[in-house]
Amino acid sequence: MWEVLLYTIVFAASFAVVFAILTRYVRRVRVEPPRREDLEDELYRTGFWRGVGLSAMVLSFVTYLSLLGFEKAILAIVLGGLTMRGAPKGTPAWLGGLGAVVVAGAFMVCAAVMLAVNWGKVIELINLLQKLS
């Protein structure tokens, strides 16, 4: 029972940290408007990185739906890192990538701790699944 409570607390705390990061920095960011001739390219790049950042953020929250979601967390960290590398620092896209890395990292730490604490039950589950097949 305490594992579920710990899991919920870590999820809520990581969500609160991401929300605090986003609300603190988005207000301070001032992005210079692009020149008229570069407007189309700039809008394309901005939209692309915002989309990648948003998908990384959503994927990092989806990892909490299943305990063994390490592959989703790794993908969220990769997408978040790519967003942070490609988008200008301080923009909403960059902050979305940062939030995805924080949330997915918190999930990986929480899941690793829960697997380590319940390792005997994990082995028992694997043995029972082998008997089913």
Task: Give the single-character DSSP code of 133.
Answer: -
Q: Residue 15 corresponds to which tokens in the numbers above?
A: 């969500």
Q: What is the model's pLDDT at position 34?
A: 58
Contacts of 121 (CB under 8 A, 6+ apart): none
Contacts of 26 (CB under 8 A, 6+ apart): 92, 95
CA distance 106 to 11: 8
The count of domains in the chain is: 1
The parent domain of residue 36 ranges over 2-132
Does residue 105 register a pLDDT over 70? yes
Residue 116 pLDDT grade (very low, low, confident, very high; cuts 50, 70, 90): confident
Does residue 67 register a pLDDT over 60? no
